[in-house]
Amino acid sequence: MPFEPGDLVVLIDRRGGRHLLRLTEGKERIGKVGVVDTGSLIGQEDGTVIHIGSASLTALSPTVLDKVAAIHRKAQIILPRDAALIALHADVKAGDHVVEGGAGSGALSIVLLHLLRPGGRLVTYEVRADHAQVAQSNVERAGLCDNHEIHIGNIASDIAETDVDSTILDVPEPWEAVPACHEALAPGGRFVSYSPTIGQVEKTHEALKGYEMADIRTFEVLERELVVGKRGTRPSFEMLGHTGYITAARKLA
Amino acid sequence: MPFEPGDLVVLIDRRGGRHLLRLTEGKERIGKVGVVDTGSLIGQEDGTVIHIGSASLTALSPTVLDKVAAIHRKAQIILPRDAALIALHADVKAGDHVVEGGAGSGALSIVLLHLLRPGGRLVTYEVRADHAQVAQSNVERAGLCDNHEIHIGNIASDIAETDVDSTILDVPEPWEAVPACHEALAPGGRFVSYSPTIGQVEKTHEALKGYEMADIRTFEVLERELVVGKRGTRPSFEMLGHTGYITAARKLA
Amino acid sequence: MPFEPGDLVVLIDRRGGRHLLRLTEGKERIGKVGVVDTGSLIGQEDGTVIHIGSASLTALSPTVLDKVAAIHRKAQIILPRDAALIALHADVKAGDHVVEGGAGSGALSIVLLHLLRPGGRLVTYEVRADHAQVAQSNVERAGLCDNHEIHIGNIASDIAETDVDSTILDVPEPWEAVPACHEALAPGGRFVSYSPTIGQVEKTHEALKGYEMADIRTFEVLERELVVGKRGTRPSFEMLGHTGYITAARKLA
Amino acid sequence: MPFEPGDLVVLIDRRGGRHLLRLTEGKERIGKVGVVDTGSLIGQEDGTVIHIGSASLTALSPTVLDKVAAIHRKAQIILPRDAALIALHADVKAGDHVVEGGAGSGALSIVLLHLLRPGGRLVTYEVRADHAQVAQSNVERAGLCDNHEIHIGNIASDIAETDVDSTILDVPEPWEAVPACHEALAPGGRFVSYSPTIGQVEKTHEALKGYEMADIRTFEVLERELVVGKRGTRPSFEMLGHTGYITAARKLA
């Protein structure tokens, strides 16, 4: 289906950089690449190559991976692969009501919103106003803000929602938010927390056990690329040794 | 929300075994555990513990992880974590039209259906009639058959769909299905293949390059549990050393 | 060089089982396999296949890996790969004077003795008499007891050696042995500890810092087999998810 | 024991850089740090801190890890941990006669020489004269050249040794050297090859099977650091995703 006015499009440059834009009749500056007349893309097919000055860019309807790759970063983001596994353990699906503690740069929010639409709702609590603003702007640029609201506040003390399907934490002291999450969750609801250090995991387990949460489990995920090249196939030399531990649990009746 | 007539419920036994059942007024046999009067669950809360003979089981609204854990297996299944990452790279979301080659026991279908509902459609091609039947019955038991159809056939030669959002392969010779998948995909559509061996990956890469697919990439994922116990915290001794390689690519205009 | 009287020989059975024996004129029982006349092996070449009843066994001059594989186990052993890396970080070489805390079943002792001969000396402290006896008997069967002595005692309180090249711990509370190890080590000497849990590592680091040990470092090692078979090449499905963390440090002047 | 004239000493700078020097009465330039009067170290204890201009350096008797860390690199080196496991599978010990194909920068030679002394002998074949020279100079600087000889040549065609304990390959086409290694090995001798790509492993397996070598096995090793810091304990974010596959086999009679 050719691009239409109002569509969200990603431009992918030669180095794999992703730039999101909304098709209007106006012009928009794309990073260091130059200015693109967004109207000129209307009517073009998905995957069309366009030229801006000497640069060639591929215009595509953005996937969730493109949307995350295009965010403006403020500190380390949760990788899409971790976000997808967090969502799996939180059982996020269309229509879900999810509450998130810690906005980061919005990367996790984007993946969750991708999965809970249509009909679902994500509420994010973030203590730092600057992080909240960056996250909100990234969610908006990704075209996902209709199902999202973000509050300046600490999920551990400020969460107002009840009967939610899942609560998802990316905060420095997740164990402090366990009582509030337990209170907010519907019976059968899922709790998921993402933490880089082992001490955080231990304290969170202790808190979860105190609330008799079921199926408490922590795991880490390692992803390694397989390079298929002219000089032969081998695992990539480059690999992230660690991102964070994912802890999942479930509230019973 | 208390269970209502017609709801799908999972019963979790003491060893973590999962048993799916539909709430009617009838009785149903649960594996070796015994017979449950499904009507007696109506009006109970999510997470209620019930008793069958001397066994205690927890009754919950099933998550996608419960649904996969409850399937009747015919050979090795694709693990939910691999399925979630396949879905991430195929950008599966509500409303998508997805074609799958290879039914396995239906585990991957269940995760895909979980993500493309409401409004989406999954079509599965499977050459073996016995596998197709097991998969279909597992999808039905998981309450997801409304958005699914399964055909006895080889995706490489029999695929009839066009303009699909993604094609996903779990077949022994994925490279043979690349031409058909390329033809079936809409511009911008995603191709994902899952294969255990390196030779399969190499041949698939070669085929994808022949069709000028973009963003060709292969990776593997290792998951390791962190055991938080009384004797201290440590990674689990038990770990799967390998499941399969995930190869992703994208069709351009 | 053909086998001579007094040589140590390993017999490898069809399932890869290793049986060590010393060539004399006598007969020896080999596990469940049967009785072998050890004298009949004298004059045979390394790698000769012999027959005992219906079983075929390959007779070889044993490597250190054979010697470890042949030990009689009492509880979990330190794997040769971990032992080799412990030895690397302890800089074990011919002539070294090494003190070990915790005998296990003697697997680590065998690897250390293999590396510090000729001329070196390994002293092992083990609190449990039954473990000490098993370890000693395994070291003797491996033909390495000339350079070894084992004491019933706790390295943390009983170590009598001074000016040693390295101290190596496989004990439940390694941090308690840090003062004694620091005292026993020569300037420039190496401390290495092997522990399964993270809490053990943390307490050991704290103790090492208290003694201003240098180059404190902890790592874990994962080994994964690559299966090269008729059905293609792939990583092995079977893999140990964890063995233990290796912590290394060095005493300065 | 205080340093004596003729001793080999490593100076470790603040950033962990290693500089090897031999204690004479002369002066020597240490990288960018400055000039050290090596005679002034005689009589000092292991682990003494010395000052050159504004820099502080710790003077120590070098371990094999120091020796490898101090080599002048020409291209990628084999890491000490891989070298230690190669040596384990080649059963290298004092007195062994080892032939190596491919000198690299001498890192593997240094670890092998460390283990086969006293009494052993390492012969290295290297096709490139420039690599051979760098390796030789690194082995000499590490004080290990007495047991080493290096020839310009291809082990696959030029190996003159017979009845050797082990042959160890780090060459681009190891399968071509299998016949020569098989010929050179004593019965019971060990073959080990180190290769980054999977195709190299597959061809080497095929060649080894053609010579009926026993116990053919390939594995890879991943090492991950555990960071124990003020902000908590966690695996290191930095990790090498791949170095090379180690293939081991054994010659029978």
How far is C36 from chain D, CA to nearest CA, in Å?
20
How many angstroms separate the Cα of A177 from the Cα of each of A89, A199, A241, C43?
18, 15, 28, 74
Model pLDDT, residue A169: 98
Please name the residues in contact with A155: beta carbons below 8 A apart, sequence gap of 6 or more: A99, A100, A101, A102, A125, A167, A169, A171, A177, A180, A181
Structure token pair of residue B151: 């055909």
* Summary mean pLDDT of chain A: 94
D166 CB neighbours in chain C (<8 A) are: none
Please name the residues in contact with B160: beta carbons below 8 A apart, sequence gap of 6 or more: none
Strand stretches in chain A, DSSP E: 8-12, 18-22, 27-30, 34-37, 48-52, 55-60, 97-101, 121-126, 148-152, 164-169, 185-195, 214-229, 232-235, 238-240, 245-250
Q: Is residue C147's pLDDT more than 90?
A: yes
| Cis geometry, peptide bond prior to residue D118 (ω within 30 degrees of 0) | yes
End-to-end CA distance of chain B: 47
* Summary mean pLDDT of chain D: 94
Q: Which residues of A40-56 are buried (b: 16+ CB within 10 A; e: fewer)?
A: ebbebebbbebeeeeee
D243 CB neighbours in chain A (<8 A) are: 237
C236 CB neighbours in chain B (<8 A) are: 241-242
Q: Which partners does chain A have (≥3 C-beta pairs < 8 Å)?
A: B, D
Using CB atoms, which residue from B94, B221, B251 is nearest to A94?
B94
How far is B204 from chain C, CA to nearest CA, in Å?
14
Query: In angstroms, rounded to a whole number, what is the distance separating the alpha carbons of residues D2 and D25?
Result: 16
Q: Is residue B32's pLDDT more than 80?
A: no
Q: How confident is the model at residue A155 (pLDDT cuts 50, 70, 90)?
A: very high
Model pLDDT, residue D76: 79
The helix (run of H) or strand (run of E) holding residue A109 is helix A107-116
Cβ contact (<8 Å) for B45 and A253? Answer: yes
Model pLDDT, residue D91: 98
D233–chain A Cβ distance below 8 A for any pair: yes
Query: In angstroms, rounded to a whole number, what is the distance separating the alpha carbons of residues D24 and D21?
Result: 9
The helix (run of H) or strand (run of E) holding residue C166 is strand C164-169
How far is D229 from chain C, CA to nearest CA, in Å?
9
pLDDT in tens, D137-179: 999 999 999 999 999 999 999 999 999 999 999 999 999 999 9
Mutate to test the interface with C, among D7, D11, D78, D88 (most CBs of C within 10 A): D88
Q: Which residue has the tokens 């690519």?
A: B249
The structural domains of chain A, ordered by start, are 8-62 (3.10.330.20), 68-250 (3.40.50.150)
How far is B110 from chain C, CA to nearest CA, in Å?
24
Check if the beta carbon of residue B55 is closer than 8 Å to that of residue B14: yes
Cβ contact (<8 Å) for A242 and D220? Answer: no
Least confident of A115-124, B140-149, C69-78, D120-129: C69-78
Cβ contact (<8 Å) for D198 and A234? Answer: yes
Q: How confident is the model at residue B3 (pLDDT cuts 50, 70, 90)?
A: very high
**CA atoms in the 13 A half-sphere facing the CB of A50:** 23
Strand stretches in chain D, DSSP E: 8-12, 18-22, 27-30, 34-37, 48-52, 55-60, 97-101, 121-126, 148-152, 164-169, 185-195, 214-229, 232-235, 238-240, 245-250
Least confident of A76-90, C86-100, D48-62: D48-62
D220 CB neighbours in chain A (<8 A) are: 235
Query: In angstroms, rounded to a whole number, what is the distance separating the alpha carbons of residues D168 and D172?
Result: 13
DSSP conformation letters of C62-101: PPHHHHHHTSPPSSPPPPHHHHHHHHHHTT--TT-EEEEE
D201 CB neighbours in chain C (<8 A) are: 226, 228, 233
Which letter does DSSP use for residue A33 in this model?
A: T
**CA atoms in the 13 A half-sphere facing the CB of A138:** 28
C238 CB neighbours in chain B (<8 A) are: 241
Q: Tell me the percentage of chain B whose pLDDT exceeds 90.
A: 81
* Cβ atoms within 10 Å, residue A9: 23
Model pLDDT, residue D47: 87
Quote the pTM value. Answer: 0.95
Mean pLDDT of C220-245: 96
B212–chain A Cβ distance below 8 A for any pair: no
Look at D54 and D178; give whichever has higher pLDDT. D178
Q: Map residue A100 onto helix, strand or coil.
A: strand
Minimal-distance CA residue of chain C relative to D222: C222
Mean pLDDT of B134-160: 97
| Cis geometry, peptide bond prior to residue B235 (ω within 30 degrees of 0) | no
Model pLDDT, residue B195: 98
- Closest by Cα among A166, A83, A88 to A123: A166
How many angstroms separate the Cα of C230 from the Cα of each of B197, C154, C234, D202, D247?
11, 52, 11, 11, 17
Which letter does DSSP use for residue D146 in this model?
A: G
End-to-end CA distance of chain A: 47
pLDDT in tens, D207-250: 999 998 999 999 999 999 999 998 999 999 999 999 999 999 99
Cβ contact (<8 Å) for A233 and D199? Answer: yes
Structure token pair of residue B206: 């070669």
A188–chain B Cβ distance below 8 A for any pair: yes
The one-letter code for the residue type at C67 is: K
D224–chain A Cβ distance below 8 A for any pair: yes
Query: In angstroms, rounded to a whole number, what is the distance separating the alpha carbons of residues A237 and C233?
Result: 19
Least confident of A27-36, B54-63, B82-91: A27-36
Structure token pair of residue C167: 């101290």
CA A252, distance to chain mean position in Å, is 27
Please name the residues in contact with D23: beta carbons below 8 A apart, sequence gap of 6 or more: D3, D4, D5, D6, D7, D8, D9, D38, D39, D41, D42
Q: How confident is the model at residue C139 (pLDDT cuts 50, 70, 90)?
A: very high
Model pLDDT, residue D36: 87
Mutate to test the interface with B, among A146, A166, A195, A228 (most CBs of B within 10 A): A228
End-to-end CA distance of chain C: 47
D149–chain C Cβ distance below 8 A for any pair: no
Task: Give the sign of the dihedral formed by CA D167, CA D170, CA D171, CA D174.
Answer: positive
The helix (run of H) or strand (run of E) holding residue C217 is strand C214-229
List B124's β-bridge partners, or say none. Answer: B100, B150
Q: Which residue has the tokens 């130059």?
A: A34
Q: How confident is the model at residue A119 (pLDDT cuts 50, 70, 90)?
A: very high
Structure token pair of residue A189: 């609801």
C240–chain B Cβ distance below 8 A for any pair: yes
* Cβ atoms within 10 Å, residue D46: 21
A241 CB neighbours in chain D (<8 A) are: 224-225, 235-239
Least confident of A37-41, A121-125, A230-234, B99-103: A37-41
Q: How confident is the model at residue D20 (pLDDT cuts 50, 70, 90)?
A: very high
Cβ contact (<8 Å) for D220 and C202? Answer: no
Residues shown for chain A: 253
Please name the residues in contact with A105: beta carbons below 8 A apart, sequence gap of 6 or more: A71, A72, A73, A74, A75, A77, A131, A134, A135, A138
A252–chain B Cβ distance below 8 A for any pair: yes
Query: In angstroms, rounded to a whole number, what is the distance separating the alpha carbons of residues B111 and B89?
Result: 13
Structure token pair of residue D222: 């991943």
Check if the beta carbon of residue C194 is closer than 8 Å to that of residue C220: no
pLDDT in tens, B211-243: 989 999 999 999 999 999 989 999 999 999 999
A188: left (phi over 0), alpha (psi -120 to 50) or beta: left
The helix (run of H) or strand (run of E) holding residue B115 is helix B107-116
Query: In angstroms, rounded to a whole number, what is the distance separating the alpha carbons of residues C49 and D252?
Result: 9
DSSP conformation letters of C94-157: TT-EEEEE--TTSHHHHHHHHHHTTT-EEEEEES-HHHHHHHHHHHHHTT-GGGEEEEES-HHH
ipTM of this complex > 0.90? yes
Q: Map residue D40 onto helix, strand or coil.
A: helix
How many angstroms separate the Cα of D157 from the Cα of each of A66, C29, D125?
53, 45, 10
